[in-house]
């Protein structure tokens, strides 16, 4: 469904990703783990069109998205839930969610998604008219996840969804990923919390210095902690 073939990318002259190939199958949860600075965020940005691949191809559902705009990529069904929960702090909670659906023309579908997300995160409904910037860190994280889901994606790219959250909220994020999976939506999950990532994922890739250094079933990687430690440093 999503396939990266020999992708290289970076920032200006600095090449970060080198010859990365990976796949995310339909309704599959795939974890992407690796030490700090390995290029995980860069990889997600390359998929969602925020930075350009300098070599290789990003193909999704048979469509070559390597040089597509971020809007076309969202329209194709890929939503990006970025690191640092970048919500629009001067807009209300509900405006943030509605903007997540800016490409969805069917207003009835937008209402249904909104109700769905409020069902999932009741606190967002309680605070729907408040400015997003007034939410707690955990609530902003929920909002960022909710906003990504508003575009009715078929694949969600999550960048460190558990970062800075309390254990209770981390459990909630894990539940969300599981529910997304149950709905038949695929997930590519970047997580510092490797244990969490491998519990949620079917398969995992380990990235080291911009390259894929290992790929396996998540259960196999979990069963081999010493190998995993060697990869992750």
Q: Is 181:205 a contact under the CB 8 Å cutoff?
A: no
Residue written as token pair 């997304």: 180
The least CB distance from residue 16 to ligand ATP, in Å, is 4
Interface residue with ligand ATP among 25, 37, 75, 164 (CB under 6 A) is 37
Q: Which stretch binds ligand ATP (CB under 6 A): 20-28, 30-38, 96-104, 197-205?
A: 30-38
Report the alpha-carbon distance of residue 82 to residue 86 in Å, rounded.
7
Among the candidate windows 34-42, 67-75, 146-154, 173-181, which touches ligand ATP by CB under 6 A? 34-42
Shortest distance (Å) from residue 175 CB to ligand ATP: 23
Which of 7, 29, 38, 47: binder of ligand ATP (CB under 6 A)? 38
Contact 101, 150 (CB under 8 A): yes
Return all residues near 63 (Cβ < 8 A) that are at least 6 apart.
76
Residues 40-79 that bind ligand ATP (CB under 6 A): 40-42
Distance of CA 89 to the CA centre of its chain: 20
Q: How far is the CB of 44 from ligand ATP (least distance, A)?
A: 8
Hey, which residues does 53 pair with through a beta bridge?
9
Positions 143 through 182 that interact with ligand ATP (CB under 6 A): none
CB of 38 to ligand ATP, least distance (A): 4
By CB under 6 A, is residue 82 in contact with ligand ATP? no
Task: Report the residue number, 14 or 168, with the smaller CB distance to ligand ATP.
Answer: 14
How many residues sit close enough to ligand ATP to count as binding (CB under 6 A)? 11
Burial string for 135-160 (b: 16+ CB within 10 Å, else e) reads beebbbbbbbbbbbbbbbbbbbbbbb
Question: Toward ligand ATP, which CB reaches closer, 34 or 100?
Answer: 34
Q: E strand or H helix at 108, and its extent?
A: helix 107-120
By the rule CB under 6 A, 39 interacts with ligand ATP: yes
Residue 218, C-beta contacts closer than 8 angstroms, at least 6 positions apart: 31, 197, 198, 199, 200, 201, 202, 203, 204
Binding site for ligand ATP (CB under 6 A): 11, 14, 16, 34, 36-42
């Amino acid at each position: 469904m999503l396939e990266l073939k020999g992708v290289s990318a970076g920032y200006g002259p600095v090449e970060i990703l080198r010859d990365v190939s990976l796949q995310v199958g339909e309704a599959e949860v795939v974890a992407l783990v690796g030490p700090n600075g390995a290029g995980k965020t860069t990889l997600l940005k390359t998929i969602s069109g925020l930075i350009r691949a300098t070599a290789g191809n990003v193909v999704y559902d048979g469509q070559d998205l390597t040089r597509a705009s971020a809007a076309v990529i969202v329209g194709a069904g890929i939503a990006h839930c970025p690191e640092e929960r970048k919500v629009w702090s001067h807009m209300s909670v509900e405006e943030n969610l509605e903007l997540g659906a800016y490409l969805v023309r069917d207003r009835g579908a937008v209402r249904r998604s909104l109700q769905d997300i409020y069902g999932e995160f009741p606190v967002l409904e309680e605070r729907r008219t408040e400015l997003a910037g007034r939410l707690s860190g955990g609530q902003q994280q929920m909002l960022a996840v909710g906003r990504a889901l508003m575009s009715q994606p078929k694949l969600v790219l999550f960048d460190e969804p558990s970062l800075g959250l309390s254990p209770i909220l981390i459990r909630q994020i894990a539940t969300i990923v599981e529910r997304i999976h149950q709905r038949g939506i695929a997930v590519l999950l970047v997580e510092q919390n490797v244990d969490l990532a491998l519990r949620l994922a079917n398969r995992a890739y380990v990235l080291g210095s911009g390259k894929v250094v290992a790929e396996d079933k998540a259960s196999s990687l979990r069963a081999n902690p010493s190998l995993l430690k060697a990869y992750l440093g």
